[in-house]
Chain A
Amino acid sequence: MFKNKKILSLVITILTLSLVLSACGGSKGITRKNPADTLVVAQGADAKSLDPHATNDQPSSRVMKQIYNTLVASTVDMEIVPALAESWESIDELTWEFKLASGVKFHNGEEFKASDVKFTYDRMLASPSVSHILGPVKEIKVVDDYTVQIITSEPFAPLLSHLTHTASSILNEKAVTASGEDYGQNPVGTGPFAFDTWQSGDRITLKASEDYFQGAAAVKTVVFRNVPEGTNRTVGLETGEVDIAYDIEPIDKNLVIDNAGLELIEGPSLSSQYLGFNTQKAPFDNVKVRQAINYAVDVQEIIDVVLEKAGEVAKSPLMELIFGSNEDIQGYSYDVEKAKELMKEAGFENGFKTSIWTNDSPVRVRIAEIVQAQLKEIGIEANIEVVEWGAFLDRTSAGEHDMFILGWTTVTGDADYGLYALYHSSQHGDAGNRFFYTNPEVDKLLDIGKTEVDTDKRLAAYKEAQEIIVADAPQLFLYFSTQNVGENKAIKGFQLHPAGHHSLYNVTIEQ
């Protein structure tokens, strides 16, 4: 095709030049491209709705967190503190009374009153997406304008934790009624930032509320941008277009760390990942097989290789910041010999064939591959099947699976949310217990934890329940995910919240 080699070499030079060009480039301080009082935050998906009762997804919650307040809030250390409620007490085991802050205004100018709390929670109880967050709440009683009672049908100890959830945000009756079905695009709250505009698929703009009851925020405008491509969020930081980027991809972490103008903030999250067994299906009905797999997989290697160290080995179902966690549990360590021994005792000296199901999340697929390789050591031939998400949920809740990879986020920070749905025998299938795990002892302890008002007794019940669960090993315990955020060094005061919904109220921009 080429008449002489000169032209060929010219073409090659041009092609390589473009690559070389892209490889160089320095990293000094990064000049922000946004106005001095405008904070631009990039996250991986657009919000679905800003109606707290319409959706429970993280991108939406992260925006709603800025617009609304809850009655009580949880700090980044998972402590429960006053928000719209100034104080509260448990009157009897079914009734909680809250004294509300006075002089709080909604963004539409309406004053916040007890009737708004009743309206909000009544509406929430009627919403299939989020009613479960209120658990056994039966009735909301308005005592006076600034006093409200929440009455449950059975004792419900984790109520306060549940009220910190963004889904429990307080709405204004007038605003909700006025917008009707379009309320999700016209939210009105009491929070530090008021909704301004929403360009679908692109950005949501919020303006600081000047009469926020705890004082106006330093930042005047917050823009949530939808940047689905992980690498592109990092690029946005590098070019100064983005001030804060949520969820930096594992492979981009070092780019952010090595860049003098950027900072990577890492912190714990309330999410854990696991590889579950179908405990009603042979050979996983044999506890020794389940334990053997726990010994056979080197979880630290998964964390190092797949997550670039962004995780912590899970020794038990709950991470340390969750109320009810048990840090005394030693869990399983990587010990192939012990695994082989257990396999032999179980009668599977020569291993068996099985399958691992996962959805198409690249991280989960890679985890499956490492587990597959390590299980080979003890003779288990695991076939990886990537199943489309909808089908994955359907088929695992029907119990068609052998092993599957899934995660759970204990959003409320309370053991009840993190254990009941996963391990109680009443929750088989859809409800969350896709291990089809049944242990009457665990059921009893989880019921105590749910209804017992005495904190110490709850704690004891949860600690014991977890010891039994770890010994029964309905799953291969993988890791507690670490979450991260990349930010421009000019951004100060940002703090990661373990639940993943970070408040931007205290953020300032240094000039």
Chain B
Amino acid sequence: MHKYILRRLLLLIPVILGVTFLVFTIMYFTPGDPAKLILGESAQPAQVEALREEMGLNDPFIVQYVRFITKALTGDFGRSYSTNRPVFDEVFARFPATLKLTAAAMLIAIAIGIPVGIISATKQYSALDSISMIGALIGVSMPVFWLGLMLILVFSVNLRLLPSSGSETIKHLILPAFSLGVGSAAIITRMTRSSMLEVIRQDYIRTARSKGVAEKKVVNKHALKNALIPVVTVVGLQFGGLLGGAVLTESVFSWPGVGRLMVDAIRQKDSPMVLASVVFISVTFSFVNLLVDLLYAFIDPRIKSQYR
């Protein structure tokens, strides 16, 4: 088990190298001059040239990359082109907000998704099933920014119950977490349902029923536990995805998270900031994935026996 974790952690090194190289290359070859973007529309060519020289942008690609990676290896990703703050300071300052939002959204998604999925599966083809499946379809296809704006309109503007933007209190969290969680809730519902349907037809369920085990116990204990493995995967992937991809929600609710930091950085060609946030997000994503894989072991003893 420890060896397995160690091996997975070591795998992070090529991941980070690959990610930085890819992002660095893309940022390098996309059009637009960071110096010009920093200086703005009315910059004089001489100033742009001076700044390019100062930033080392006139060096060949490979020199720039090597310089970046040697510094990065010592943990120094540099300072943001636009705010001149050390980039990781900025990323770490933003991460708690993102984590809070993602965790809340996932809680909502699980709280809705798993029960609804179970009900749907046990009452297949009933009206309840149809409604929840339509609900899931709407949930998956509804643009998150639209849902966010509608929630603001109803709960902030008309009912005056919840604040529309900001991130100080728990009250601020409800609307963004809900609008972010709905999409995942829908996916989890569908996954739980199909996984349950598959399990429920297995022989051991029939055995359990024929033994006279109460239906409730059959569903919650025998079926659910076995149906959860693919659901855990989906939850893990969703969690990892939301950590880096809550950009739209963050914008609609003015939530100061990492996603928006990254998008703003991309717009401004703020390469150090983009690299730092992408590396950070990929590492977090890898960790979440590792956690999910470890979680399997606790749910499924068969998998545990493979970790040697």
Q: Give the B-binding residues of A (Cβ under 8 A).
A: 1-3, 7, 11, 18, 21-22, 24-25, 33, 42, 45, 48-49, 51, 54-57, 128-129, 131-132, 181-182, 184-185, 199-203, 225-229, 231-232, 235-236, 238-239, 241, 388-391, 393-395, 406-408, 421, 429-432
Instruction: Kindly identify which residue among A3, A132, A201, A231 contacts B260, using a CB–CB cutoff of 8 Å.
Output: A201
Q: Is the CB of A239 within 8 A of B157?
A: yes
On whether the beta carbons of B31 and A239 are closer than 8 Å, the reply is no
B294 close to A (CB within 8 Å): no
Given contacts A232-B152, A394-B33, A431-B45, 9 further A-B contacts (CB under 8 A): A11-B134, A33-B163, A49-B84, A128-B51, A129-B38, A129-B39, A225-B254, A231-B149, A235-B156
Q: Which of B35, B47, B257 contacts A132 (CB 8 A)?
A: B47
Q: Which among B84, B130, B252 is the interface contact of A229 at CB below 8 angstroms?
A: B252
User: In chain B between 220 and 277, which residues have their CB closer than 8 angstroms to a CB of chain A?
Assistant: 251-254, 256-257, 260-261, 264, 267, 269
Given A226-B256, A431-B44, is A202 in contact with B167 using a C-beta cutoff of 8 Å? yes
The answer on a CB contact under 8 Å between B82 and A48 is: yes
Residue of B33, B54, B164 touching A235 (CB-CB under 8 A): B164
Q: Which of B44, B127, B154, B252 contacts A21 (CB 8 A)?
A: B154
Inter-chain contacts of A182 with B (CB < 8 A):
85
Q: List 8 A-B contacts (CB under 8 A).
A: A42-B165, A48-B82, A48-B83, A51-B84, A201-B256, A202-B256, A388-B31, A394-B32
A5 smallest CB distance to B (angstroms): 12
Taking the nearest CB of chain A, how far is it from the CB of B178, in angstroms? 13
Contact B158 A22 (CB under 8 A): yes
CA distance A239 to B306 in the complex (A): 56
List the A side residues contacting B56 at CB < 8 Å: none
- For residue A21, which residue of chain B has the nearest CB? B154
Q: Does B217 contact A (CB under 8 A)?
A: no
A394 to chain B, nearest CB (A): 6
Instruction: Judge whether B150 is part of the interface by a CB distance below 8 angstroms.
Output: yes
Which B residues are closer than 8 A to A by beta carbons? 30-33, 35-45, 47-48, 50-51, 54, 79, 82-85, 90, 93-94, 97, 127, 130-131, 134, 149-150, 152-154, 156-158, 160, 163-167, 251-254, 256-257, 260-261, 264, 267, 269
Contact A132 B158 (CB under 8 A): no
Contacts of B166 in A (CB 8 A): 202-203, 225, 241
Main secondary structure on chain B at its contact with chain A? helix
**Chain A residues within an 8 Å CB radius of B256:** 199-202, 226
Q: Is B37 touching A390 in the complex (CB atoms < 8 A)?
A: yes
Kindly name the residue among B79, B83, B154, B260 whose own CB sees the greatest number of chain A CB atoms within 10 A.
B83
Q: How far, in angstroms, from A11 to B132 measured CA to CA in the complex?
A: 11
By a CB distance below 8 angstroms, the chain A residues around B36 are 390, 393-394, 430
Tell me the smallest distance from the CB of B262 to a CB of chain A, in Å.
11
Q: How far is the CA of A429 from the CA of B48 in the complex (A)?
A: 13
Q: Are A432 and B42 in contact (CB under 8 A)?
A: yes
Give the chain B neighbours of A55 by CB distance below 8 A. Answer: 38, 82
- Give the contacting residue for A25; candidates B93, B131, B157, B163; CB below 8 A: B157
Bound complex: CA of A201 vs CA of B54, how far in Å? Answer: 27
Q: Find chain B residues with CB under 8 A from A22 CB.
A: 150, 153-154, 157-158
Knowing A56-B40, A229-B251 are in contact, say whether A200-B50 is a contact too (CB < 8 A).
no
Asked if B32 and A388 make an inter-chain contact with CB atoms under 8 angstroms apart, the answer reads yes
Q: Which of A184, A199, A228, A430 has the most CB of B within 10 A?
A: A430
**Cβ–Cβ contact B254 & A239, under 8 A:** no
In the complex, which residue of chain A has the Cβ closest to the Cβ of B53? A128
Chain B residues in 8 Å Cβ range of A203: 166
Known contacts A11-B131, A132-B43, A239-B156: A200-B33 contact under CB 8 Å = no
For B48, give its contact among A2, A48, A200, A430 (CB under 8 Å): A430
Tell me whether A200 and B150 are in contact (CB under 8 A): no
- Nearest CB to that of A410 among chain B residues? B42
Q: How far is the CB of A271 from chain B (nearest CB, A)?
A: 11
- Which residue of chain B lies nearest to A394 when distances are taken between CB atoms in the complex? B31
A contact residues around B40 at 8 Å (CB): 56-57, 129
* Distance, CA A231 to CA B32, complexed state (A): 30
Q: Using Cβ atoms and an 8 Å threshold, which residues of chain B touch A389?
A: 32, 37, 267
A10, closest chain B residue (CB): B131
Q: How far is the CA of A408 from the CA of B42 in the complex (A)?
A: 8
List B contacts of A7 (CB < 8 A): 127, 130-131
Partner of B253, one of A2, A185, A232: A232
Let me know if A132 and B157 touch, CB within 8 A.
no
**Residue of A whose beta carbon sits closest to that of B79:** A181
| Contact status of A201 and B37, CB under 8 A, knowing A182-B85, A184-B85, A235-B165 | no
Q: How far is the CA of A423 from the CA of B267 in the complex (A)?
A: 29
Residues of the A chain whose Cβ atoms lie less than 8 Å from the Cβ of B43: 132, 430-431
Instruction: Give chain B nearest CB distance to A161 CB in angstroms.
Output: 15
A390 touches B32 (CB 8 A): yes
Closest to B254 in A: A227
Bound-state Cα–Cα, A227 to B286, Å:
31
B165 touches A200 (CB 8 A): no
Q: Which residues of chain A come closer than 8 Å to B45, judged between CB atoms?
A: 429-431
A391 to B47, CA, bound (A): 19
B contact residues around A132 at 8 Å (CB): 42-44, 47
For A226, the chain B residues whose CB sits under 8 A away are 254, 256
Most buried by A among B48, B157, B163: B157
Bound complex: CA A236 to CA B84 (Å): 30
Q: Determine the distance from Cα of A430 to Cα of B130 in the docked complex, in whole angstroms.
A: 60
B252 to chain A, nearest CB (A): 5
Say yes or no: B165 contacts A241, CB within 8 Å: yes
Residues of B contacting A228 in the complex (Cβ-Cβ under 8 angstroms)? 251, 254, 260
Query: Do B41 and A128 touch (CB < 8 A)?
Result: no
**A238 partner residues in chain B, CB cutoff 8 A:** 156-157
Q: Which chain B residues lie closer than 8 Å to A201 at the CB level? A: 93-94, 97, 256-257, 260-261
A33 to B153 CA separation, bound complex (whole angstroms): 18
B residues in contact with A430, CB < 8 Å? 36, 43-45, 48
Q: Which chain B residue lies CB-closest to A239? A: B156
Given A22-B154, A226-B254, A236:B165 Cβ within 8 A: yes
Considering only CB atoms, which chain A residue lies closest to B138 in the complex? A15
Task: Please give, as numbers and ranges, the residues of chain A lying within 8 Å of B130 by CB-CB distance.
Answer: 1-3, 7
CA separation between A388 and B295, bound complex, in Å?
44
CB distance A2 to B127 under 8 Å? yes
**How far is B43's CA from A55's CA once the two chains are assembled, in angstroms?**
12
Q: What is the CA–CA distance of A45 and B261 in the complex, to the nearest angstrom?
A: 11
Ranked nearest first, the 9 interchain pairs of A and B with the lowest CB-CB distance are: A390-B32, A201-B256, A391-B31, A202-B256, A25-B158, A128-B51, A22-B153, A128-B47, A227-B254
Whole-angstrom distance between the Cβ of B243 and the nearest chain A Cβ: 16
Tell whether, in the assembled complex, residue B127 and residue A235 are in contact, meaning their CB atoms are under 8 Å apart. no
Within the complex, the shortest CB–CB distance from B42 to chain A, in Å, comes to 6
Query: Min CB distance, A256 to chain B, in Å?
Result: 13
Q: In the complex, are the beta carbons of B41 and A393 less than 8 A apart?
A: yes
User: Which residues does chain A contribute within 8 Å of B84, judged by CB atoms?
Assistant: 49, 51, 54, 181, 184
Write the nearest CB–CB distance from A127 to chain B, whole angstroms.
Answer: 9
